[in-house]
Amino acid sequence: MSGGVDSSVAAALLQQAGHEVVGCFMRLGSPGEALETPIAEDAPTCRLDASASPNTSKGARIGHQGCCSINDAADARLVSAKLGVPFYVVNFRNDFGRIISYFEEEYHAGRTPNPCVRCNDWLKFGKLRQYAEQLGCDAVATGHYARVATTAEGPRIRRGLDRAKDQSYVLFGIGPQALARMMLPIGEMEKPAVRELAREFGLPVFDKPDSQEICFVPDDYADFLARRAPERFTEGAIVDEAGRELGRHDGHQRFTVGQRKGLRVAASIPLYVLRKDPVRNEVVVGPRASLEVSGVEATDVTWYADASTREAGEEITCTAQVRAHGVPIPARARWNDGILRVQFDRPESGVAPGQAVVCYDDQERILGGGWIRATLDQGDRGIVPA
């Protein structure tokens, strides 16, 4: 229970259906608070791992609109009291350091991270699932806009009914084991109906705004990184595709693939960030057409479809998604030898190493996904690595 309307209604629906509900709040920090600040003893807490992660708190402060703040904990507690269910605060601040470190290292390596996916993999359906097992619970339920579908190959994640709010993409990495003990009560609902149910249930969060930002980045992500490790930001060249220097930058981490504004380069045509080279400390820019890629290769693959498609290296017709709220791309996927290769049927712009690619079947169920290590350019000249 994050203290938002979605997880609150999910809890209420489960209780209404006759389930025994236990509310758990993941304690990561509160607005403006460094992550090592002591936890107020205002609710039962459970510390699953007392080992501290290095550099967890340096520059890491929780934003005002991100999830999991102490204000959100208070809202979750009020909802739990209204429903009459037990409520626990689970101390994940040490574990959360792993996500912050991942976020930092990906940017320093020239890639584009997705901490929300990792939070679901490692915490909500990782650590929290372990805690649920300790409590003797049968499943972990959340307020995600996605569905669990039953197939011959086992349970699969399916897009939520509300396509505008669909969150299936950020759940792709949880794996079959966690999916077998997962419940998504609002997946068959649209957001206005969820808010109306919250009002009918008398939940005090029925009109609470949605979270909008990365919870541990209260302002600009590059400023966050610079505060944490200023020595890793060094001046370098902004170059064109031929390697000619067009300008200078004060840290490649301040740029993202597809970025147009803020390049500080004079040119006769609009220029976009095409890729970053952290080894040479260069930012490569070019025209919009050069942003288009024809496919990707991904590793660290999570696969749900029939295992024979992997073993035979069979090509599967699918749709692919490379952003949390991206438009599905008609594609063909092949998983073999630990590599997921996805060939798009139409060019896609702004695809960056570090993002996730998730493949869906024609019934909007996830076949599998992985983390993009390289892109295939339009001239079919080969893979462009991270």
Point out the residues that are catalytic: 119, 215
Beta strands in the chain (DSSP E): 23-27, 45-47, 87-91, 140-141, 146-151, 154-159, 182-183, 236-239, 245-249, 272-277, 282-286, 293-303, 315-321, 329-336, 339-348, 356-360, 366-377, 383-385
Q: 310: alpha, beta or left, given left = phi > 0 and alpha = psi -120 to 50? A: alpha
Residues linked to residue 376 through DSSP beta bridges, in sequence order: 295, 383
Q: Dmax of the chain from CA atoms?
A: 67
Residue 167 identity (one-letter amino acid): Q
| Dihedral angle computed from the Cα positions of residues 213, 219, 220 and 226, in that order, rounded to the nearest 10 degrees | -130
Count H helices and E strands in the chain, helices first: 9, 18
d(CA 115, CA 101): 10
CA distance 184 to 186: 6
What is the C-alpha to C-alpha distance for residues 64 and 273, in angstroms, rounded to an integer? Answer: 30
Beta bridge partners of 90: 26, 46
Which residues share a beta bridge with 371?
299, 356
